[in-house]
Chains A and B, each alone.
Chain A
């Protein structure tokens, strides 16, 4: 696709102080967003966080109460849905039940008066591997197939930005994993900017280059999946993307690159650079379950160690997840890979340890 490369340069989306208010409720609270062209961007958040409203405002299906939307250099805020070179894959797929698959996929092209719409629509159906279903009606296809038709119907128009509203929400787990890989492949193949709305953190992290975590109408944190996971900025992000153990801490001293903090009377070492400049009060240290190790109490290679009693152990095959109760009552989650190291039993006294650079620190929300 020669046109796709050209579009790649155009499909930059910029939201400026975008806002959507209802009578007594702010759905989207003046967000700023810069989606680089050709990227796979995910809007992640729990239901009601404003991610779908944001998507619908970009599509033109919802009117913003304030702010602007730019597509490339063009301000599209006041244009209507049918005037925007943006296409949507709806959560319910919204395939036209009275039209066959080919006519569904060709709908946009015919509106755009593309002469060889049939050829292009068939190519799009080949891309999603459904060319043999062209003459069938949507209801004769399975959910997964309908999903792919909805995708073909949107990308065939080569929009500058493709919007996906929880497109895999109605599929079962296995199909979902398959479609995640499939979507990623198609995005790389066509090079269109994808904006994917989801509440599934794993889905967002698997597929997207950049993830924006939304909460109550605001963007809480934005970054690459690994960055969000390893260095969450808030407790919400730390717990929404995977699991985190959070320990309240106080900074006692800073010497060069290292700092000493104390938590419940235990002295711990952290990286000085990881201490956030804001919110020095109510500071918390976060550590992911898989970064914690079960070690011998006498092991001196680890600087950060805590001891406690195993209060729960569940074996899942690839790993064992323990709950370890600290002397002050808090239970820490530890995931031990099934790599041949000795497993602990319920009621055992164990020592857990971690590397200082695996920890992150966050202030109070």
Chain B
């Protein structure tokens, strides 16, 4: 009993961790499978086939490349736009500021199906042909809100006296921004950019509405493939993405730990 009372939090913690991690583990394990039929749903035998030929599934690597390109492009654009908007909203008092804050919240609150459908209507009535451009516009639209929210929190936590101190120490407004403001807000901007990329990369619903007949992103490919048979390569890509995310977090932790150590 006493043992249980002492270790209950650890046990519950491990169970929650397992709950979160099991899907990822399944993805990794099944990337080494050699399925008997078209579907990679049942364990058959260990094989490195998919890892040795990651682009073996026809069309998959093209879809992946498109998703990466759209993810990077939309994250870059929405990070720049979102950061500027966050500074305006976090720093200045202007007419319509609270209304703008509300507008920023809308894309996050709107159901994706509704947003996808209404965007398609808009694009058609504008005469814009569905394709990479429409996907890009749609992705920037729904990721920019997340960037604004993330960066704004960081801007709000900044002591205004710091910028005044920089000006007092002979820094021009531009120098103040690059030497003081930007380095202090950068973690927020980085987090916003990563979030924007992740949201764009795995979006299916909005993308599916606004993609052209020939544009196929990675999530669309996976969905389409699951109708006819799932290639093991999907699991390979999933595993790489997962490990990549873990590596980013790990590197960030290591840098933080080293900085703390140097400081101490």
Q: How many of A's residues come within 8 Å of B, CB to CB?
A: 28
Least CB separation from A136: chain B residue: B263
A111 is contacted by which of B162, B175, B184 (Cβ under 8 Å)?
Answer: B175
Instruction: Give min CB distance, B156 to chain A, whole Å.
Output: 16
Report which residue of A59, A82, A83, A97 has the largest number of chain B beta carbons within 10 angstroms of its beta carbon. Answer: A82
Instruction: Determine if A92 and B175 form an interchain contact, defined as CB atoms under 8 angstroms apart.
Output: no
Instruction: Determine if B168 and A87 form an interchain contact, defined as CB atoms under 8 angstroms apart.
Output: yes
- Chain A residues in 8 Å Cβ range of B166: 96, 107
- Chain A residues in 8 Å Cβ range of B128: none
Q: Is B172 part of the contact surface with A, judged by Cβ < 8 Å?
A: yes
**Complex: A108 Cα to B264 Cα, angstroms:** 26
Q: Is B16 part of the contact surface with A, judged by Cβ < 8 Å?
A: no
- Chain B residues in 8 Å Cβ range of A91: 161
Instruction: Give min CB distance, A242 to chain B, whole Å.
Output: 32
Instruction: Determine if A111 and B164 form an interchain contact, defined as CB atoms under 8 angstroms apart.
Output: no
Chain B, interface residues (CB within 8 Å), range? 20 to 34
**Complex: A79 Cα to B122 Cα, angstroms:** 51
**Complex: A91 Cα to B160 Cα, angstroms:** 12
Instruction: Determine if A59 and B161 form an interchain contact, defined as CB atoms under 8 angstroms apart.
Output: no
- Chain A residues in 8 Å Cβ range of B159: 92, 94
Instruction: Give min CB distance, B108 to chain A, whole Å.
Output: 30
- Chain A residues in 8 Å Cβ range of B264: 140
- Chain A residues in 8 Å Cβ range of B171: 82, 107, 111
Decide: A107 near B169, CB < 8 A? Known: A90-B161, A92-B159, A96-B162. Answer: yes
Q: Is B170 part of the contact surface with A, judged by Cβ < 8 Å?
A: yes
Instruction: Determine if B164 and A81 form an interchain contact, defined as CB atoms under 8 angstroms apart.
Output: yes
Instruction: Determine if A82 and B167 form an interchain contact, defined as CB atoms under 8 angstroms apart.
Output: yes
Instruction: Determine if A92 and B161 form an interchain contact, defined as CB atoms under 8 angstroms apart.
Output: yes
B168 is contacted by which of A88, A95, A112, A136 (Cβ under 8 Å)?
Answer: A88
Binary per-residue interface labels of chain B (122-165) against chain A in the complex, 1 for a CB within 8 Å, 0 otherwise: 00000000000000000000000000000000000001011011
Q: Is A153 part of the contact surface with B, judged by Cβ < 8 Å?
A: yes
Q: Is B183 part of the contact surface with A, judged by Cβ < 8 Å?
A: yes
B167 is contacted by which of A80, A140, A154, A157 (Cβ under 8 Å)?
Answer: A80
Decide: A82 near B263, CB < 8 A? Known: A90-B165, A98-B183. Answer: no
Q: Is B180 part of the contact surface with A, judged by Cβ < 8 Å?
A: yes
Q: Is A175 part of the contact surface with B, judged by Cβ < 8 Å?
A: no
Least CB separation from A88: chain B residue: B168
Q: Is A118 part of the contact surface with B, judged by Cβ < 8 Å?
A: no
Instruction: Determine if A94 and B263 form an interchain contact, defined as CB atoms under 8 angstroms apart.
Output: no
27 example contacts (A-B, Cβ-Cβ < 8 A) are as follows A60-B167, A60-B168, A80-B167, A82-B169, A82-B170, A82-B172, A86-B168, A88-B165, A88-B168, A90-B161, A90-B164, A92-B161, A94-B164, A96-B162, A96-B166, A97-B162, A97-B184, A98-B183, A98-B184, A107-B171, A111-B170, A111-B171, A111-B175, A136-B263, A137-B263, A140-B264, A154-B168
Point out residues on A near B: beta carbons under 8 Å.
59-61, 80-83, 86-88, 90-92, 94-98, 107-108, 111-112, 136-137, 140, 153-154, 157
